[in-house]
Amino acid sequence: MSETTASSAATGATIELENLTKRYPGNPQPAVDGVSMEIGAGETVVFVGPSGCGKSTTLKMINRLIEPTGGRIRIGGEDVTRIDPVKLRRKVGYAIQSSGLFPHMTVAQNIALVPQLNGWPKSRIRSRVEEMLDLVGLDPGEFRGRYPRQLSGGQQQRVGVARALAADPPVLLMDEPFGAVDPITRDHLQDELIRLQHELHKTIVFVTHDFDEAIKLGDRIAVLRERSHIAQFDTPEAILTNPADDFVSGFVGAGAALKRLNLTRVRDVGISDWPTVTVDDPLQHVLDRLRASGGNEILLVDKQGRPYKWLRRGDLMRAKGSLARAGTPVHYTVSRDATLRDALEAVLTDNAGRVAVTGRRGRYEGVVDMETLMNSVHELLEADRLDALEHQHDTEEAGSARAHSGQEGPDGSGGEAEKA
Amino acid sequence: MNFWEFVGSRHQQLLTDAYQHASAVFQCMVVATVLGVLIGVATYRSEWAGNLATVTTSTVLTIPSLAMIGLLIPVVGLGVPPTVTALTLYGLLPVVRNAIVGLRGVDPALVDAARGIGMSRASRLLRVELPLAWPPILTGIRVSTQMLMGIAAIAAYASGPGLGNEIFRGIASLGSRNALNQVLAGTLGIIVLALLFDAAYVLLGRLTIPRGIRV
């Protein structure tokens, strides 16, 4: 079933913003001043910036909740600046802070809204609602008939995303969707969104003021300063290692190297093998393995293959040969999808500087230790630096080319915006 | 003849009056609700239009009902027309005011969300704003109905229908044997009708306010 939905699902469309401007009457300064940007199909772009910088206004101009005063919007190559806004919005999913669910409708009715407006047949809507609830990790049987106030904040937000995606729009706009939930739930929702995007490949434009959220979610990040001027529009890696100016580095904040750890997952770095024995192994075998391993520690895994205890030389002797009493229980494990930051945290917390990596159903897969982490971080930073240098070189070339063409004659709309 | 004997001997007449009373109030309430909600919908988005509607309807309410009916007689004549006109006008205010308050009270973020997912102006109004404003509108309708129950009694002054006739006849023949009984029967009848209507509104609220926004 997942295959058929994947093939029928609309994947992302490109978004092009051209000199998008918003002026409010009575205010000489535009609220958004000539934003131009190209967003690739299936890309997640995060707008990040201080409050009041116009990031939300820019987002709302994409589905024309706020009508731009100047400029052009193209979605999937089609100019949507002048088409019926209602028609435009049916093609663009929209999720907002504190979910925006209609309290007088059940979860199912909320999700069914846009498909209904699009005139889908009833049976298709019903199956779509189930599919969407499944997609966002809520059990349809349990949640279909509930009202929004009977849900937790995180669940409401999931339903909000399900509603935004119900009619399968190629583009999804998210306006600080996780701003009003607690940090733990927010973390979960972010992970969910990454997983969703992995399946769906929509074009997502996401607004936040939380730079860490931007790093975690964005393929590219647009750091905006006042009036939505783009301070830097680049990959998270490039922004972290090579911020364009003081404004951006101020926004990135301290600890860029630490934040960089968020961008790499444990599965991307080498995990080392570690000698293991299972709880069912005879004692003699355990002792042999300990001796043969060369190290002074082996990992004891339980019957399901999950890390259970660390056994050191001497532990068994002290416990008088009882496997049940010997060794120290494994407190921390990280999954292969955990970020290097999580892994570092676990390694630092662990008293012996290593942590077991687990795969599906918590099964043991390997171990990362301090040394592996250090080496990978050095490699990553070095690679980033090289990339950044190369990139800088490219943009300098492009920049000088643009300046050149700019002198030759500004195009009509650009000149007009400057005069007004 | 005591009160119960009076009611027993006149029950035919009393029931007819009560029915006409209820029917007049009900019909006027339907018209007032439709008009009131329409006025609310037309005016709630603009500050001054909404205030104008509220002020106008509350000015109508300050006119004494006897005077209003008296003033309407030369315009629309005697009987049913002045009754219906007066009742509808009086019934408007609570509905208009609560419709405006209710519609303005809908969380702007929800209206924004409705626009954002591509609902047209009409479907926003019908599927989001009015359902959310319905509880206060229903409260307005309840208040209006209670008020109209009393005002409808005055309609008898213009030869209108309803239990007011009993009261007026009683007052006109004060001192006679059944005068007090007539006034009492009319008054109690109105009270009973008002309670019945109120119970019906509670039931209506149960049936029409979705569980998600019931308090």
Which pLDDT score is estimated for A399?
58
Which of A129, A60, A67, A136 minimizes the C-alpha distance to A96? Answer: A60
Which pLDDT does position A402 carry in this prediction? 56
Q: For residue B209, how many other CB atoms are within 10 A of its CB?
A: 16
Interface contact B119-A103, CB threshold 8 A: no
Q: Domain for residue B54, yes or no? A: yes
Indicate whether B79 belongs to any domain: yes
Partner-chain residue, chosen from A96, A117, A149, that has the shortest CB–CB distance to B109: A96
Beta bridge partners of A47: A207, A222
**What is the rounded CA–CA span in Å between residue A114 and residue A125?**
10
Q: Which is nearest to A32 in space by CA: A85, A75, A73, A78? A: A73
Task: Kindly identify which residue of chain B lies nearest to residue A169, measuring between CA atoms.
Answer: B117
Better-predicted residue by pLDDT, A360 or A228: A228
To the nearest whole number, what is the mean pLDDT of chain B?
A: 88
CA atoms of B182 and A118, how far apart (whole Å): 62
Burial class (CB in 10 A: 0-12, 13-18, 19+), A174: buried
Mean pLDDT lowest for which of A272-281, A338-347, A406-415? Answer: A406-415
The pTM of this model reads: 0.72
CB within 8 Å: A65 and B115: yes
Q: Is B148 strand, coil or helix?
A: helix
Tell me which of A121-125, A205-209, B60-64 is least confident.
B60-64
**Confidence category of residue B98, pLDDT binned at 50, 70, 90:** very high
* Rounded (5°) CA angle A136-A13-A133: 15
Classify B9 as helix, strand or coil.
Answer: helix
State the Cα–Cα distance between residues B105 and A136, nearest whole angstrom: 31
Helices (H), A43-118: 55-62, 85-90, 107-117
Q: Which residues of B touch A86 (CB under 8 A)?
A: 118-120
Q: Which residues of chain A neighbour B210 with C-beta distances below 8 Å? A: 104-105, 147
Of B112, B118, B212, Cβ closest to residue A103: B212
pLDDT band for B26, please (50, 70, 90 cuts): very high
Q: Which chain A residues are Cβ-neighbours of B132 within 8 angstroms? A: 102-104
pLDDT at A46: 93
Q: For residue range A163-210, what is the model confidence (pLDDT) as tens digits?
A: 988 888 899 999 988 887 888 888 888 888 888 888 888 899 999 988
Q: Going along A235-306, which residue ranges are E strands?
A: 276-278, 297-301
Confidence grade of residue A400 (pLDDT, cut at 50, 70, 90)? low
For range B75-83, the mean pLDDT: 83
Q: Tokens 């006027």 appear where?
A: B28
Q: What is the pLDDT of residue A415?
A: 38
Residue A19: pLDDT above 80? yes
Domain that holds residue B131: 14-213
**Domains: count for chain B:** 1
Residue in A closest to B210 by C-alpha = A104
B34 falls within a domain: yes
Q: What is the DSSP string of A102-120?
A: -TTS-HHHHHHHHHHHTT-
Between CA A244 and CA A58 the distance in angstroms is 21
CATH number at residue B155: 1.10.3720.10
**pLDDT class of A31 with cuts at 50, 70, 90:** confident
- Confirm if B148 and B87 have CB atoms less than 8 A apart: yes
Contact A98 B109 (CB under 8 A): yes
In the 8-state DSSP scheme, what is residue A10? -
> What are the chain B neighbours of A88 within 8 Å (beta carbons)?
118
CA distance A43 to A161: 17
Residues of A with CB under 8 A from a CB of B: 63, 65, 86-94, 96-98, 100-106, 113-114, 117, 147-149, 163-164, 173
**Mean pLDDT, rounded, of chain A:** 81
Work out the average pLDDT over B175-185: 84
| Integer Cα distance of B7 and A150 in angstroms | 52
CB of A330 closer than 8 Å to CB of A364: no
Chain B residues at the A interface, defined by Cβ less than 8 Å, are 109-110, 112-120, 123, 127-128, 131-132, 210-213
**Model pLDDT for residues A136-159, shown as the tens digit of each residue:** 888 888 898 899 988 888 889 889
Put simply, the answer to whether A94 touches B117 (Cβ < 8 Å) is: yes
pLDDT score recorded for residue B99: 93
DSSP A180-225: TS-HHHHHHHHHHHHHHHHHH--EEEEEES-HHHHHHH-SEEEEEE
For A106, name the nearest residue in chain B, comparing CA atoms only.
B212
What is the spatial distance between Cα A331 and Cα A350, in angstroms, rounded to a whole number?
8
Q: Do A65 and B116 lie within an 8 Å CB cutoff?
A: yes
User: Rounded to an integer, what distance in angstroms lies between the CA atom of residue B39 and that of residue A393?
Assistant: 65
In a domain, B120, yes or no: yes
Find the closest chain A residue to B112 by CA distance: A65
B100 vs B41: CA distance, rounded Å = 7
Rg from Cα positions in chain B: 20
Round to whole Å and give the CA distance between B90 and A56.
46
- Which residue in A165, A173, A170, A177 sits closest to A112, CA to CA? A165
Burial of B16 (0-12, 13-18, 19+ CB in 10 A): middle
Give percent of chain A with pLDDT exceeding 90.
Answer: 10
CB atoms within 10 A of CB A11: 13
**Alpha-carbon dihedral of residues B160, B164, B168, B169, nearest 10 degrees?**
90
- Collapsing DSSP to helix, strand or coil, B2 comes out as coil
**Would you say A214 and A44 are in contact if contact means Cβ atoms under 8 Å apart?**
no
Q: Tell me, yes or no, whether B81 lies in a domain.
A: yes
Exposed, middle or buried: residue B14 (CB in 10 Å: 0-12, 13-18, 19+)? buried
Q: Would you say residue B9 lies in a domain?
A: no
* A vs B: CB pairs below 8 A: 67
Q: Residue B3 domain-assigned?
A: no
Tell me how close the Cα of A210 comes to any Cα of chain B, in angstroms.
21
Here the tokens at position A182 are 């607690």
Q: Which residue from B117, B210, B212 is facing A163, i.e. has the nearest CB?
A: B117
pLDDT of residue A325 exceeding 80, the answer is no
Tell me the two tokens of residue A71: 């400029």
Instruction: Output the CA torsion sign for A218, A196, A64, B50.
Output: negative
Cβ-proximal residues to A221 (8 Å cutoff; 6+ apart), any chain: A45, A46, A48, A214, A215, A232, A233, A234, A235, A236, A239
Count CB neighbours of A360 within 10 A: 9
CA distance A393 to chain B (A): 41
- Mean pLDDT highest for which of A14-28, A145-159, A358-372, B26-40? B26-40
Report pLDDT digits (tens) over A237-254. Answer: 888 888 888 888 888 776
Whether B169 is in a domain gets the answer yes
Picking from B66, B58, B94, B64, the residue whose alpha carbon sits closest to that of residue B82 is: B66
Residue A194's nearest CA partner among A173, A175, A213 is A213
Q: Which residue type is seen at A324?
A: A
* Partners of residue A221 on adjacent β-strands: A46, A234
DSSP per-residue string spanning A148-169: GGGS-HHHHHHHHHHHHHTT--
- Give B63's pLDDT tier (boundaries 50, 70, 90): confident
Selection from A342, A330, A216 nearest residue A267 by Cα:
A342
Q: How many CB atoms lie under 10 A from the CB of residue A112? A: 22
Would you place residue B191 in the very low, low, confident or very high pLDDT band (cuts 50, 70, 90)? very high
User: ipTM of the predicted structure?
Assistant: 0.80
Q: Looking at this protein, which amino acid is placed at residue A267? A: R
**List of chain B residues whose C-beta atoms are within 8 Å of the C-beta of residue A94:** 113, 116-117
Chain A partners within 8 Å of B128 (Cβ): 102
